[in-house]
Amino acid sequence: MNIKNYILELLFPTYCIGCGKAKFLICADCLAGLKMSAGLGKIFYCFSYKNTPLVRKIIKQFKYKFNVDIALVLGVALKDLFLEALKKNPELYNATIVPVPIHKKRLKYRGFNQAGILALSLYDGVKSEGRNGLNFAYMDCLIRQKFEEVQANLGRDERIKNLRGAIGLKKGANICGRVFVLVDDVYTTGATTGECKKVLVGAGAKKVFVFCVAKS
């Protein structure tokens, strides 16, 4: 532990999100108990919200109080999921990773885009595995051009209506013919990822896979 972490630990002691034990945000026992329930269908996800209440807690912490340890844990889960998906989807060898964007107003308030951090750690994790034939890219090419209030209490149809035209493409982004892996933290109604997909496909993307940490 370096000095900075030592002082931080004195000021703000950490407790495990799962069991309350001191020192770690997720202790080894709780981490070991986190079962991946890899969904490898239309949507690729690491955990099911229903079966793993701890994941719900972890994502909340990650989203509203950035923590590097959590980002790393979730990044590893995404990497494992990707390597699993690679076995049956050879198109993923040429994937371009893209995060679901957040509006700059929200970015200013939150300080980071949680999907961006996940997408980057997925990218770094898979690259460091050094698979043969992997032609991987990272492209933060989407923007959120419309600010929506929190959508949590809206139904699916309302969300979709609300999101119409909310996502755009950054200038000069070269989308044509690419296979994308769109990354988000949680998949709920699919309204947001659906809108991102529409923009990418509209600009000439060959295919868009959706990867997320948890699916509700």
Q: Does 73 bind Zn ion (CB under 5 A)?
A: no
Tell me which of 25, 27, 186, 208 binds Zn ion, using CB under 5 A: 27
Question: CA nearest 212: which of 86, 125, 82?
Answer: 82
Distance CA 172, CA 211 (A): 25
The region, left, alpha or beta by phi > 0 then psi within -120 to 50, assigned to residue 201 is alpha
CB 68 to Zn ion: min, Å: 18
Distance CA 112, CA 13 (A): 23
Tell me which of 6, 8, 15, 19 binds Zn ion, using CB under 5 A: 19
CB 57 to Zn ion: min, Å: 11
Q: Does 54 bind Zn ion (CB under 5 A)?
A: no
Q: Which is nearer to Zn ion, 19 or 40 (CB)?
A: 19
Looking only at residues 127 through 146 of this chain, which bind Zn ion when binding is defined by CB under 5 A?
none
CB atoms within 10 A of CB 192: 27
Instruction: Tell me the number of residues near Zn ion by CB under 5 A.
Output: 5
Q: Concatenate the DSSP letters of all residues of 193-215 into one string.
A: HHHHHHHHHHTT-SEEEEEEEEE
Q: Which stretch binds Zn ion (CB under 5 A): 8-16, 44-52, 112-120, 207-215?
A: 8-16
